[in-house]
A and B are shown apart, each in its own frame.
Chain A
Amino acid sequence: MKLEGKVAIVTGGGQGIGAGIVRCLAEEGADIAIVDLREETAGEIVKEVEALGRKAIAVHADATDSGQVTEAVRKVVDAFGKIDILVNNVGGGGARIKRTIPKEELTGLRCVDSEEEAWDKIMDLNAKSQFLMCRAVVPHLLKQKDGKIVNIGSRLARQVDISLSIYCTAKAAVIQYTNHLALELAPHGINVNCVCPGDVMTPNIEAAFARVAETNPDSKGKTPEELFLQVAGPRMAFNRIQTPEDMGRATVFLASEDARTITGQALYVDGGQTFL
């Protein structure tokens, strides 16, 4: 086991990619603090981690709210006495951008025809949340002159998808924040890296594909796996279902001593998607 005796915070660890990261960290021996808005799902993952023989807590907090972040980190330190690993996984908001202020001349120009509020929300969720968490956690890592931060980016940090322009921009910010934090914290023995997922079959995506199979005549009778490969397959070099655990294993590697001289790196876990 590579992470025995370590305490890891995973934001948004109660579901999706975050839950996969939590499982992989716990399998390698880490105790886990899930910082998440959804208490019910986070509670279920806590039970899974405890079943592995590790300690786990769920702390209810919005990672985009500095007051709640400060309070959440205090609770984690109260419970475990220290923090060794921070995984900034909270993110999203890529799919839906509301357009309530239609501007005739901007119709179809999706990079400029968005609400100001959408920009702020997506930036907050994907970029500011990482800044706020780091600001609260780094003092604890500095105390022990040791620590690992893994920020979750996206394949979209370096790919262009005009329908998701704000999300892509926010994820690119994650890469640059990772680089700067890595350089600044290096003299203090803290490694900062980034995992960039491609398309991942999370339970939410699986449920969405299941609904598609029920409602869309073209997809009738197809399994979520078949639909995932139909949609994401052509974008990947491998015709494989990419899972939250694929992200978890990369996160474990970067959080372990095996990666002790790796810092400021973006590791793309995307089945070669970024090149196609």
Chain B
Amino acid sequence: MSFEGKVVVITGAGMPNGIGAGIARCFASEKARVIITDLEGAPIDETIASIEGDVSSLIADASSQKAMFEATGQIIDQHGRIDVLVNNAGIGGPRPEREAPVEEILGSAMSDPVWDAQLVSNLRTTFASSSAVVQKMEDGGSIVNIASVAALGPATGLPAYGAAKAAVVHLTKTHAIQFAPRRIRVNCICPGLLYTRAWEMMTAQTKMNNPDLADVPQRKIFEDIVAQSTPLGGEQTPEDIGNLAVFYASDKARMITGAVVAVGGGMEL
């Protein structure tokens, strides 16, 4: 399943312990040339240093078509082609969704700007980056959208995050048909529970809201949630997500497009 000579772009992959970095490791180990993008200020150099293989970086806002058109141009100038785009950029639900409520209504309080920010970071990113990159996928290609198990059912406490990710699932199907004449396949992964920055933030918040948990380590809070909600047991690793991304992008999946698969140990069942 070698990706030798193939160019893979992964958005929002600047965090060393993030899903994007895991996806980058999986593609790099298949000999792909990997370009990871993130916003200014992300520890992207540290992430690159942690990955073996042909990995480089680019600062670009995945939610901006203009920025992604420019990034695509740079990548084509430098590497000549783009074969795979992984729309991984997004932000975790918890903290921003809680900010500045207008009025608390059944726990769904959220200001308009916070709602908009969630939709921009978790949904527009996928649209903007795909729109920019498909223009330059001249030899066919593969797009892998990272949604969430939160897309597959009610996302209590995370209405904007859940709605945005559900829309990513839907956009996957639209783009699958829309891009098919260009031999570009579009598929979606719904990750379950991984201890990335989003869950560090979420468990910190849980501790703040529950004085009883003051002495409980954040990691322990996360592990308890995993134990309660994952039938197969255990959390997901970034590589679990990366393995499916590599399969989707490979010729082995040449007839798979518009597919949506949860990598969550059965937690949505």
Within 8 A of B (CB), among A249-276: 249-250, 252-253, 258-265, 267-272, 274-276
Known: A186-B265, A260-B240. A198 touches B255 (CB 8 A): yes
Contact A276 B177 (CB under 8 A): yes
Stretch in B78-86, B95-103, B246-254 touching the partner: B246-254
Rounded to whole angstroms, the CA-CA distance of A183 and B267 in the bound complex is 9
With an 8 Å Cβ cutoff, the count of chain A residues facing the other chain is: 34
Q: Is B67 an interface residue (CB 8 A)?
A: no
Is B266 within 8 A of A186, CB to CB?
yes
Which secondary structure dominates where chain B touches chain A?
Answer: loop
Is B269 on the interface with A (CB-CB < 8 A)?
yes
Q: Does A88 contact B (CB under 8 A)?
A: no
Which listed residue, A191, A262, A268, touches B258 by the CB 8 Å rule?
Answer: A268
> Within 8 Å CB of A258, what residues of B?
243-244, 247
In the assembly, what is the distance between CA of A262 and CA of B248, in Å? 14
Judged by a CB distance under 8 angstroms, whether A182 is at the interface is yes
Chain A nearest CB, measured from B137 CB (Å): 15
Contact code string A71-115 (vs B, CB < 8 Å = 1, else 0):
000000000000000000000000000000000000000000000
| Any B CB within 8 A of the CB of A222 | no
A246 CB–B CB distance under 8 Å? yes
Contacts of A11 in B (CB 8 A): none
Q: Is the pair A253, B259 in contact by a Cβ cutoff of 8 Å? A: no
Within 8 A of B (CB), among A219-235: none
For B192, list chain A residues within 8 Å (CB).
Answer: 261
Do B257 and A262 touch (CB < 8 A)?
Answer: no
* B265 and A253 contact, CB distance less than 8 A: no
Residues of B219-269 contacting chain A, CB below 8 A: 231-234, 236, 240, 243-244, 247, 252-259, 261-266, 268-269
Chain A residues within CB distance 8 Å of chain B: 179, 182-183, 186-187, 189, 191, 198, 237-238, 240, 242, 246, 249-250, 252-253, 258-265, 267-272, 274-276
